[in-house]
Structure 1
């Protein structure tokens, strides 16, 4: 169980209790958690790893996708070397 505190535009403070939610491990290759495959994924967005503004830190690559088989949507960090199938930069 986790405690979460949120501020509503500076007007009020809310503290709520939440249960742990299953989140894909950081930098996991995309796969549908229900179908347990990447065969049906439709990629909505892919952002390659990039340098953070005003920092030397590298922000991880990320992808968002929907499974066309079951309709599950997911988004998370992906390995730096991962790219969606048939993906390339336009030049």
Structure 2
């Protein structure tokens, strides 16, 4: 799994419970809250091209309190606050 921190990619080894591998809701691991998150990108779960496989939803975000940047898979039902799809 790759976690992004301050724009630098860090490779972590560990169990599947490492941040984001199970599709955890975004939060700042430094501040231990989601109160200061600024969402930069959100990609909903979607069907893979030329396949029936479902690609997981993902989000990238920065903590405005400490500056930590993160990106990972999120639960399929999770959406950024006040997010809606334009159709």
Task: Give TM class, smaller chain.
Answer: 0.7 to 0.9
> Would you say 1:44 and 2:37 are equivalent positions?
no
Shift of 1:21: 7.0
The higher radius of gyration belongs to: 1
Aligned length: 74
Question: Partner of 2:81 in structure 1?
Answer: 85
What TM-score do the two structures reach when normalised by structure 2? Answer: 0.78
Q: Write 1 or 2 for the structure with the bigger share of strand.
A: 1
| Ranges in structure 2 where 5+ consecutive residues have no aligned partner | 1-10
Shift of 1:90: 1.3
Question: 2: distance between equivalents of 1:55 and 1:79?
Answer: 21
Question: Partner of 2:70 in structure 1?
Answer: 74
Which aligned segments of 4 or more residues in structure 1 are displaced greater than 3 angstroms?
18-23
Question: 1: distance between equivalents of 2:25 and 2:32?
Answer: 12
What TM-score do the two structures reach when normalised by structure 1? Answer: 0.75
Match of 2:31 among 6, 28, 35: 35
Question: Partner of 1:24 in structure 2?
Answer: 19
Question: 1: distance between equivalents of 2:14 and 2:54?
Answer: 26
